Amino acid sequence: MEPPFLLADLDRTAPPGPGGPCVRVAVAARPRDTAEEFDVLLTAAPDPPRPWVCCADPYATARQLRDTVASRPDACLALVQVLRMGAALPPPDRLVVESLAYSALQAGAAFRAWLTSARPRTPRPAAEPVRLHRDGDRLTITLDRPWVRNAFDAATRDALCEALEVAAADPTIARVDLYGNGPAFCSGGDLAEFGTSRDPAEAHRVRVQRSPAALLQRCAAKVTAHLHGACVGAGIELAAFAGRVTAAPDTVIRLPEIGMGLIPGAGGTASLPARIGRERTACLALSGAPLTASRARRWGLVDEVDERPRTRHGTEITVGD
């Protein structure tokens, strides 16, 4: 069976008409208006305007995307469908649609196969996975599981929700700074917990009831996320909700969920498109390729690349002059 994938070479043919459900990719030597007909647009032109993505060989990249769709058709198709629908939905509803699709894929054969092949990991919880520091009208929130690069487990999710509930409800808090302690901001979902929930319906209910993404949507205007090191999966999905995002030069961003037979599930199909558009979000997720801080800045995923050294004092990270 052919994968649900369509490739259009806009330099040689006219854009194809509507077809069946599939991942629609276009390549062209020069960016052009495509009336939002495609999920990913590839060009070799340097620094193309959104929604186009520059790559050295667009045809080779398109073939790689086709291979990904062939190996993970359900996840890839769900991803582009969620991204397309999200453009017409209010922000809170985008999170619900994402979670429904994520739960459906959790029950799928591709994710079960990934779980079977993944090496077992021992949980390494923290007594206090999120630390808070209040200084006047400023609240600093620090993810604090550095021994697992701040991998996002259920305890971290719940503690972050508690912190963000305070930030959203307290009008005397004017600024919220979100940091990650240790070598990385956040390395994504804790693989030691992946697959431990056997009820996708219950997992969906928990995700929408205890949602850091929903709380970040409420207080985004006063939140600054400070990225460094690995920002993988939830690490960038949540940070992208912040009203302002800064990144150290060593920041590396990735969305790896398609390789697991899933889609981003921490709000990424809502937060990233708001900053970089659904097409570039789809390209990041389908390829799983790393995005550097400098390119993230050019795309608008981060607002500033901060070259200043970072030091840690007690429970608060400061940026030196």
pLDDT along the chain (321 residues), means of 10: 91 77 95 88 96 96 98 98 96 97 96 92 94 97 98 97 96 98 97 84 94 97 98 98 98 98 98 98 98 98 89 47 35
Core vs surface per residue 89-98: b (16+ CB within 10 A) or e: eebeebbbbb
Domain segments of the chain as ranges: 5-71, 94-255+292-319
User: For residues 51 and 279, what is the distance between their CA atoms, to the nearest angstrom?
Assistant: 6
pLDDT at 30: 92
Residues paired with 6 in a beta bridge: 24
Other Cβ atoms closer than 10 A to 138: 14
Q: How distant, in Å, are the alpha carbons of 138, 148, 211, 245, 307 from that of 171?
A: 11, 34, 21, 22, 32
User: For residues 254 and 239, what is the distance between their CA atoms, to the nearest angstrom?
Assistant: 13
User: For residues 92 and 79, what is the distance between their CA atoms, to the nearest angstrom?
Assistant: 18
Helix axes 91-106, 268-276, angle to 10 degrees: 130
Of 311, 316, 312, nearest in space to 142 by CA:
316
At residue 132, what is the residue type?
Answer: L
At residue 70, what is the residue type?
Answer: A
> Which class is 94-255+292-319 in CATH?
alpha beta
User: How many CA atoms does the CB half-sphere of 240 hold within 13 Å?
Assistant: 29
Sign of CA dihedral 81, 85, 87, 91: negative
Query: What tokens were used for 284?
Result: 């990041």
The pTM of the full predicted model, rounded to 2 decimals, is: 0.94
Say how many Å lie between the first and final Cα of the chain, rounded: 59
User: For residues 264 and 163, what is the distance between their CA atoms, to the nearest angstrom?
Assistant: 23
pLDDT at 313: 41
User: In 3-state terms, what secondary structure has residue 29?
Assistant: coil
CB 47 within 8 A of CB 25: no
H/E stretch holding 316: strand 316-319
Residues paired with 9 in a beta bridge: 27
H/E stretch holding 305: strand 304-305
